[in-house]
Amino acid sequence: MKDFLSKLGIKHENSGTSTGQEFLKDVTSEKITSYTPSDGSEIATVYETTKSEYEEVVQKSQEAFKEWRMMPAPQRGEIVRQIGEELRKYKEPLGKLVSYEMGKVYQEGLGEVQEMIDICDFAVGQSRMLYGKTMHSERPQHRMYEQWHPLGPVGVISAFNFPVAVYSWNAMIAAICGDTIIWKGSEKTPLCGVAVQNIIGNVLKANDVPEGVFSLITGGREVGEWMTTDERIPLISATGSIRMGKQVAQTVGARLGKTILELGGNNAIIISKDADLEMAVRAVVFGAVGTAGQRCTSTRRLIIHESVFDELKDRLVSIYQSIKIGDPLDEDTLVGPLIDQDAVQAMQNALKQIKEEGGKVITGGEVLENMEGHYVKPAICEVKNHYEIVQEETFAPILYLIKYSSLKEAMEYHNGVKQGLSSAMFTLNMREAETFLSHRGSDCGIANINIGTSGAEIGGAFGGEKETGGGRESGSDAWKAYMRRQTNTINWGDELPLAQGIEFDV
């Protein structure tokens, strides 16, 4: 077994269920085998969570909430601070595991762990800033204010492409708010969940934190449905496809629960005739091929002014033909494998549909049959924005080139999809930049000027509009989603005046 796996406490067989300090293992449980997409070899196995184990996790989470919510928020922040310090110790081996199990290159694996560290730092500060407001009452000798209370157990369902970072965006903020957390990671990357739980468990044990504050469950769709239908879990934060998100929204909404949904992206960059093309090319390449096109913020569509279209296309084709594809743990590799064979097939189906609809594959798209693992060449295609396949999100490195002649036309193309996550424009024209960021510009949750669509910082709220789900995680005031608002009025006088001047004598 590789050295970094043993450092993280990964064994040949691992329990996928934990209440924080303790791992549960039901001998009747099914096993999930984790394979590395780099060469298809088996890494280790993880026991799925059984229904009885799930019940134990939820009960422990409920019990822990009663104690955790009473701890002052800055003290909860201190626990999160220590988790950040523990993650610093394990940054290298955890980054390697993310790369090995998911397939993103090692530098991106390290970056993902750094995001975990950064959100811990952010959450520590936020633990002293869970502010409410005071308002002036219309009634004499009355004081009005609002305060925020924790919700209870929070369910976090994360996806394979960011197997650790997105969990931490939710968990660390929810924790300082006084919530307990139940995490179900992707069944495609179960070892990342086990490793993170081992790291957090070190801190929980050292501080005698009650079992159930940070819990882990493992499994497929059925395990996720246990969470979404469970009235004991008031909030579900789910990251995944639009199809999955609609099911979660309907299920949780039917019981009047709360959701934070981070779903598909069909992200575009507009390249103006006034763009700095050198900067634009670098941003486009990283956004399109980073994580092998498997980021929700990956650049899918490039909307290029007709005057610079051919020049930019030629430069991109030249770069794509020299990109090194291979082992994600090799420091020289820029593009690793897709997650599995289904992802490879989905890409091939998309390329076929592009041709059927009248588009052209300019370069790339081939499956690298001579390499073990799920490797493909990133593709560049010339298309029309209205093509059905362009309207969808294919989770693979396919970049669509679309030509425009006016800013009005570019914005129509840009906003003319059902997803609304991340967006960008490259221009040195102030009027164009301000238009893109105005209410008649980008309709996405994230809009950037002269940087790409990918690579959000934790200080800003992350999320999108339209069928991306409308959720917000991470920075800014995203903490409010993990709490309930309460308005309070105190009468400190000796009379009982009614609002709106109503007279009601008894």
Q: How confident is the model at residue 1 (pLDDT cuts 50, 70, 90)?
A: low
Q: Mean pLDDT, to the nearest integer, of 64-79?
A: 98
Provide the pLDDT for residue 21. 86
Instruction: Show the 3-state SS of 427-486.
Output: CCCHHHHHHHHCCCCCCCCEEEECCCCCCCCCCCEECCEECCCCCCEECCCHHHHHEEEE
* Residue 248 φ then ψ, to 5°: -65, -45
Q: What is the pLDDT of residues 198-231, one digit of tens each?
A: 999 999 999 999 999 999 999 999 999 999 999 9
Q: What is the pLDDT of residues 32-42, one digit of tens each?
A: 999 999 999 99
The CATH architecture of the domain made up of 3-263+469-486 is 3-Layer(aba) Sandwich (3.40)
Q: Report the C-alpha gap between 361 and 353 in whole angstroms.
A: 11
Domains 3-263+469-486 and 267-449 alike in fold: no
Q: Give the active site residues.
A: 262
Mean pLDDT (the chain) is 97
Written as six digits, the tokens of 420 are: 């609304």
Please say whether the beta carbons of 188 and 161 come within 8 A.
no
Whether residue 493 has pLDDT greater than 80:
yes
Q: What is the pLDDT of residues 281-338, one digit of tens each?
A: 999 999 999 999 999 999 999 999 999 999 999 999 999 999 999 999 999 999 999 9
| Closest listed residue to residue 302, CA positions, set 120, 166, 438, 424 | 424
* Residue 272 φ then ψ, to 5°: -75, 160
Q: Report the C-alpha gap between 438 and 450 in whole angstroms.
A: 16
Q: Report the C-alpha gap between 279 and 441 in whole angstroms.
A: 22
Our measurement of the distance from residue 376's CA atom to the centroid of its chain's CA atoms, rounded to an integer in Å, reads 24
- Given 3-state DSSP classes, what are the helix, strand and coil percentages for the chain, each rounded to the nearest 5? 40, 20, 40
Q: Report the C-alpha gap between 273 and 296 in whole angstroms.
A: 27
Neighbours of 357 (CB within 10 A): 14
Alpha helices in 90-153 (DSSP H): 91-102, 106-126
State the DSSP H helix or E strand holding residue 382, giving kind and residue range, or none if neither: strand 379-382
* Residue 78 φ then ψ, to 5°: -65, -40
| Closest listed residue to residue 25, CA positions, set 45, 49, 61 | 49
Please say whether the beta carbons of 328 and 103 come within 8 A.
yes
State the DSSP H helix or E strand holding residue 278, giving kind and residue range, or none if neither: helix 277-289
* Residue 126 φ then ψ, to 5°: -65, -25
CB contact set of 500 (below 8 Å; sequence gap of 6+): 138
Give the start-to-end residue ranges of the domains of the chain: 3-263+469-486, 267-449
Residue 85: C-alpha distances to residues 156, 178, 391 (Å): 22, 20, 43
Token match 């499994």: residue? 219
CB contact set of 143 (below 8 Å; sequence gap of 6+): 134, 137, 489, 490, 492
Please say whether the beta carbons of 158 and 190 come within 8 A.
no
Q: What is the pLDDT of residues 165-210, one digit of tens each?
A: 999 999 999 999 999 999 999 999 999 999 999 999 999 999 999 9
Written as six digits, the tokens of 152 are: 């209870």
Neighbours of 2 (CB within 10 A): 14
Three-state SS at 207: coil
Q: What is the pLDDT of residues 357-416, one digit of tens each?
A: 999 999 999 999 999 999 999 999 999 999 999 999 999 999 999 999 999 999 999 999
Dihedral-angle region of residue 350 (phi above 0 means left; psi in -120 to 50 means alpha; beta otherwise): alpha
The CATH architecture of the domain made up of 267-449 is 3-Layer(aba) Sandwich (3.40)
How large a percentage of the chain has pLDDT more than 90? Answer: 97
Residue 63: Cβ-neighbour burial (10 angstroms; 0-12, 13-18, 19+) = middle
